Chains A and B, each alone.
Chain A
C-alpha cells in the first residue's frame, strides 16, 4: 500500500423510531453538511462520492438517486452507490483513493425502516429458491444462531442479557442513540431471543469524509488512519455454515492486520446480542478491549448505516484522542454472512 488514507470527519443523525416528517434526502442533508463543515470542504472539493442504501427498506424506487440531491451533484460529480451498508461504500471509496484518482471522498448511507416491516423486508435478500419462499424473518434467523451458540455452551440467556444491558448503559453517553439506559429484557420475540436481545428499529443516516496523505493532516487534527480494511463472505446456505463461528470475520481481520497488535477499542456491528458473542470469539477480543462504547447496533440500528456508524464511531474516538488503535466491524446478510473489518490508528501523541 503506497497511500495513507484516513477518516477525517464523521457525523450522524439522531436515530429515531420514525422520521415520517422527512424524506430520505431531508433526513440525510444535515449530516452531509456537518461533515463538510467539519473539514471546511465544499461539494466541489470532494474527489469521489459513494453511498450505501436499499430502496426496499422504505419501498421507494430509486431513492438513492433522490438522495444525491442533497450532495449537489450538478454539474456531474464522480459518484457511485452500493446496495449495501455504507461500510462497503467506504471500502469502495478507500480503493478509489488508493488508485490516486481522488484525494478526498464523501461516504454516506441512510436507512428508513419506519415505512415498512424490516423483519419481512430483509427476507427478500435471502436465497430466492429455497429460503425466501418460507419468509424467515431476520429475528428468526438470528434466533437459530443464538440457539446454536447456547447448545455449543458459548453463551446462555443471562450472558446475552448482560450484553444488552452493557450496550444500552454505554449508550447513555451517546445522544444520537435510540435505546439508552435501562431497557427491560422483555419477552421472547423468537425464542431464545428476547426483545432486549434485538436491535431497535429506526431511521437514521451517517456520513464520513476520507482523505489521503497530507490532505488528511490538513483537514483533521488527528486523522484516523485506515491501516487495513478487508471484507469476506461465507456460503449463502445457512445450513452449510457453522453458525457459532465467523471465519469470514476472522479472515477479514487477519487481512486488515487486526491481529498484528492489540486494539484498545472495537466497534462491532452486532445487531443481536448473540452476534457479539460470535464476533468476540472470531476477533479474539479479551476484556482489555473496550467493546462498543457507543452502545453499538443494540442502541441504534439504522439498517444500511449501522456498519458505517461503527467505522465513524471508532474514528471519532481516535479524533478525540480516546483511542490510539481501534477495530471497526460491519456486517451484512443473515447471521453475520458477510463481514468487513477495518483497523484505524491515530498518530502517536
Chain B
C-alpha cells in the first residue's frame, strides 16, 4: 500500500450574525461597561439575557441592570489555555452569578493557581481596554473582597446600539484523502490517470472515491484511463474568480476520459471559448511541477459521436 497522504487544512470564516433586541442591549451594554439581565415570566433575572423565556418560551424584553460583582457557582482549572480562550496564562473557567442575577455567566477567572479558587468566592468583572460590543469586552473576572457593586438602574437604551456581531472561527485539520483517492493522487504525480472498477457493475470511476455509489461495494481494481477524453458538456465562465489568474471568458467542461464511466471536470484551453462543443476530443496539458493537469486542449481528432458519451453527461 502506498504511503498515506496528508496535508494541512484550515477551515476559517467570519460568521456574521444579527442580534435580537435583548442580545443587542446586552452586548452594547458591555461596550459601555453596563451589565444587563432580562426578567423571565416568573420574575427571575437571566444573565446573560436571552430573547425567549427558557421555561415558557414567551418573548421577554424587561431589561434589568445587574452588578459587576458576583459569586462563583462552579469552576475548573485550565492549566493549558487553548487558542482563542480569554487568557493565555493558566486560569480558571468559572460560572459566575452576578449580584442581582439568578443565573450564571461563563467566563474566565484570573488567579495564580487552583488553590486560589473555590465555589462561593467573590469576584468582579475586569473590563477589556478596547470594547466593541462582544462577550470578550469582559476580559475576565478577578477576585474581589469588597462590598457588592450597586447597579445604577440603566434602562437598556443606548445610542448606537450594535445590531450584529462578526465572530471569527478557525479550525485546523490534517486532511488525508483515504485509500482510493491516495492511489489516484500518487498516480497523478506520474502524470497518469488511474480510476477504480466496481466489481459488481464493472463501471470505472475517475477520480475514485473507494465505493460504487450504485452498488454500495468497495472498488479496488485499478484501471488506467485517458489521457484523451471527450467533452460531454460545458459552460462559459464570465466571472473572474478571486485569486485565480485566468482571463474570462473561459470554458469549464465535463470530460469523459477514454475508459472512464464518470466524467471529471476541468478547464478547456488552446481553442477560442466560443468554438468549444460537445463531443470535442481533448487531452491534458501538464505544466512543470504541477500535480494535476493545468487544463485540457483539443487533440485535433474528429468529434466523438453523441451516442458514445450520452450516458456520461
Let me know if A136 and B214 touch, CB within 8 A.
no
A192, B114: Cα distance in complex, Å: 10
Partner of A129, one of B27, B82, B93, B218: B27
B244 interface residue (CB < 8 Å to A): no
Let me know if A243 and B216 touch, CB within 8 A.
no
Partner of B76, one of A20, A33, A72, A140: A140
Kindly supply a per-residue 1/0 record for chain A positions 108-148, scoring 1 wherever the CB is within 8 Å of any chain B CB and 0 otherwise.
Answer: 00000001110111011000111111111100110111111
How many residue pairs link A and B with beta carbons under 8 A? The number is 188
| Stretch touching chain B among A63-71, A277-285, A293-301 | A63-71
A196, B138: Cα distance in complex, Å: 33
A21 interface residue (CB < 8 Å to B): yes
A151 interface residue (CB < 8 Å to B): yes
A25, B179: Cα distance in complex, Å: 10
Chain A residue with Cβ nearest B170: A120
Chain A residue with Cβ nearest B40: A240
Kindly supply a per-residue 1/0 record for chain B positions 70-101, scoring 1 wherever the CB is within 8 Å of any chain A CB and 0 otherwise.
Answer: 00011111110011111000000101010000
Main secondary structure of the interface of B (DSSP, over half): mixed
Kindly supply a per-residue 1/0 record for chain B positions 205-218, scoring 1 wherever the CB is within 8 Å of any chain A CB and 0 otherwise.
Answer: 00001111111111
A238 interface residue (CB < 8 Å to B): yes
A240, B107: Cα distance in complex, Å: 14
Partner of A73, one of B75, B213, B218: B213
Considering only residues 323-342 of chain A, those with a C-beta below 8 Å from chain B are none
Let me know if A29 and B11 touch, CB within 8 A.
no
Q: Write the nearest CB–CB distance from A130 to chain B, whole angstroms.
A: 5
User: With A129-B23, A135-B84, A143-B76 known to touch, is A26 a contact of B179 (CB < 8 Å)?
Assistant: yes
Chain B residue with Cβ nearest A137: B82
A25, B4: Cα distance in complex, Å: 16
User: With A29-B218, A128-B167 known to touch, is A190 a contact of B95 (CB < 8 Å)?
Assistant: no
Considering only residues 138-197 of chain B, those with a C-beta below 8 Å from chain A are 165, 167, 169, 171-182
A215 interface residue (CB < 8 Å to B): no
B104 interface residue (CB < 8 Å to A): yes
B134 interface residue (CB < 8 Å to A): yes
Let me know if A23 and B173 touch, CB within 8 A.
no
A163 interface residue (CB < 8 Å to B): no
Let me know if B179 and A23 touch, CB within 8 A.
yes
A74, B215: Cα distance in complex, Å: 8
Q: Write the nearest CB–CB distance from A286 to chain B, whole angstroms.
A: 27
Let me know if B103 and A237 touch, CB within 8 A.
yes
A304 interface residue (CB < 8 Å to B): no
Partner of A25, one of B86, B167, B210: B210
A209, B118: Cα distance in complex, Å: 49
B19 interface residue (CB < 8 Å to A): yes
Partner of A21, one of B175, B179, B212, B215: B179
Complex A-B: 16 CB contacts under 8 Å: A25-B211, A26-B179, A29-B216, A72-B216, A73-B216, A74-B213, A130-B48, A133-B135, A135-B85, A136-B85, A145-B74, A148-B73, A151-B74, A191-B79, A237-B50, A239-B47
Q: Residues of B with Cβ closer than 8 Å to A?
A: 1, 4, 6, 9, 11, 15, 17, 19, 23, 27, 46-48, 50, 54-55, 73-79, 82-86, 93, 95, 97, 103-108, 114, 119, 134-136, 165, 167, 169, 171-182, 209-218
Beyond the given A26-B210, A58-B173, please list 6 additional residue pairs across the A-B interface where CB-CB is below 8 A. A71-B216, A116-B174, A129-B165, A133-B134, A134-B86, A238-B104
Q: Residues of A with Cβ closer than 8 Å to B?
A: 20-26, 29, 32-33, 43, 56, 58-60, 66, 68-74, 115-117, 119-121, 123-124, 128-137, 140-141, 143-148, 151, 188, 190-193, 235, 237-240, 243
The 7 closest A-B pairs by CB, nearest first: A72-B216, A23-B178, A239-B104, A143-B76, A135-B84, A191-B77, A235-B54
